[in-house]
Amino acid sequence: MKIKSFLLNATLVLNAVFPAKSIAQMKELIDENFKNAVSQYKTMMSLTPQDKLPQSYDPQTNKFHARERTWWCSGFYPGTLWYIYEQTNDAAIKKEAERSLELIEPNQTYTGNHDLGFMMYCSFGNAYRITKDEKYKLIINNSAEALSTRFRPSIKAIQSWNKNAYFNSPVIIDNMMNLELLYWVSDNTGNPKYKDIAVTHANTSLRDHFRKDYSSYHVIDYDTVTGKPSRKATWQGAADCSAWSRGQGWGLYGYTMMYRFSKDKRYLKHAQNIAKYILTHPNLPEDKIPYWDFDAPQIPKAKRDVSAASLIASALLELAQFTKNEDLKKSYIETAKTILVNLSKPEYLAAPGTNGGFLLKHSTGALPLNSEIDVPLIYADYYFLEALKRYKDWYL
């Protein structure tokens, strides 16, 4: 009955005129989303294999998809559980968070890709922040060391994927997100090695990944001899010249986060310029839930990407914390609020007991690869709950 009441109340609230929403209404919306998350993730827990981590669910075939521990998204499930536990104190949620941490713990020495930040900081980082258990801190430190092995001095960046048939030494914009792990470990151990790598990588991406309008390429492939880009391309976007929506979110979040740590004003200004590109783009829908690519074919019939929306909302809320211009600050907060309100509507928020336990519908993983199209994705839920927490902590 509580979940049914939530859906009814949420619908009534969300159908109200947005500017008139009160602080109390937003607080209720956020609290009810977390209560709903407890129920949904207990459904997900019942579907999750003991040796894998949830990734997605196909509503057409009713198939639940889970991945092995070295998959780049493996940290989002425990990280999401920790966010839910922090807000609800549900013991079963905490127990599952701890179990899933044990499953991915061996990743602390994994060097097969650049995603240790996603895998180990979103998970163990949240666990340590909430519990202050020193064993988690040691695992985070070891993970930073593993990630540092992928730094390539010749290109002044962390190599994302291993050399393959398509790329020699690729660096993707997603890699900005993994710098948080490195910088945090330097700040918490006093060892500057990891911070220096993070700053060097961020500066290289600042130089090479962005166009004059502050949109970003997805992939920069480097010549390891000259250290210069040999190709600027995409893997998940519509075209090499397009602006893949989630990629724009990775850049926005990444440079905002780098300013948080470094206080380098270049990063803050760059994040604000990325935000301007996103928020003023003529193809950004009225509800602020982006199409999968800002230059996608068949707009307005193109697929949406809810994962990009939740990521952008979370990033904008932090960017507002550092922005002194009141008009800009207000626009960031209001846009993030619009996204959170719209993601809480039945159009995007799954009904209780459905969607494989995932909270949000209509994400797009890699449309050109015909992979994860119009389905829930674990990281969409993660950044949605992170954004709800940030809004509650900072603006209520």
How do beta strands 170-172 and 157-158 pair? unpaired
pLDDT the model gives residue 22: 81
- Cβ(101)–Cβ(82) under 8 Å? no
| Cis peptide upstream of residue 368 (ω within 30 degrees of 0) | no
Whether residue 154 contacts residue 224, with contact meaning beta carbons closer than 8 Å, is answered with yes
Q: Is the pLDDT reported for residue 47 higher than 60? A: yes
Helix (H) or strand (E) holding 366: strand 363-366
CA distance 97 to 75: 10
> 290 pLDDT exceeds 70?
yes
Q: How many C-beta neighbours within 10 Å does residue 37 have? A: 25
The DSSP secondary-structure symbol of 303 reads P
Q: What is the pLDDT of residue 308?
A: 98
**pLDDT the model gives residue 21:** 53
Q: Average pLDDT, stretch 231-256?
A: 98
pLDDT digits (tens, 9 = 90+) for 65-124: 999 999 999 999 999 999 999 999 999 999 999 999 999 999 999 999 999 999 999 999
Over residues 362-370, mean pLDDT: 98
Residue 362's pLDDT is 98
Residue 122 tokens read as 């979103």
- Whether residue 264 is predicted with pLDDT greater than 90 in this model: the reply is yes
Q: Return left, alpha or beta for 381; rule: phi > 0 is left, psi -120 to 50 is alpha, else beta.
A: alpha
Q: Domain 2-111+122-141+245-395 class?
A: mainly alpha
Tens of pLDDT, residues 157-193:
999 999 999 999 999 999 999 999 999 999 999 999 9
For 12, residues 6+ apart whose C-beta sits below 8 A from its C-beta are: none
Residue 293: φ, ψ to 5°: -145, 140
What gap in Å lies between CA 360 and CA 383, rounded to an integer? 11
The distance of Cα 223 from the centroid of its chain, to the nearest Å, equals 29
Residue 311, pLDDT score: 98
Q: Report the mean per-residue pLDDT for the chain.
A: 95
User: Reduced to 3 DSSP states, what percent helix, strand and coil does the chain have, rounded to the nearest 5?
Assistant: 60, 10, 30
Q: Quote the percentage of the chain above a pLDDT of 70.
A: 95
Condensed to tens digits (0 to 9), the pLDDT of residues 8-32 reads 444 444 443 344 458 999 999 999 9
Of the listed ranges 161-165, 199-203, 265-269, the one predicted with least confidence: 161-165
What percentage of the chain reaches a pLDDT higher than 90?
94
Q: What is the pLDDT of residue 121?
A: 98
In contact, 323 and 314? CB cutoff 8 Å: no
Please report, for the chain, the start and end positions of each structural domain, with discontinuous segments joined by +.
2-111+122-141+245-395, 150-233
Catalytic positions are: 115, 174
pLDDT of residue 19: 46
Q: State the pTM of this model.
A: 0.94
Q: What average pLDDT does this structure show over 208-212?
A: 98
Q: Look up tokens 């997900």; give the residue.
A: 44
**Token pair of 37 as six digits:** 């998350």
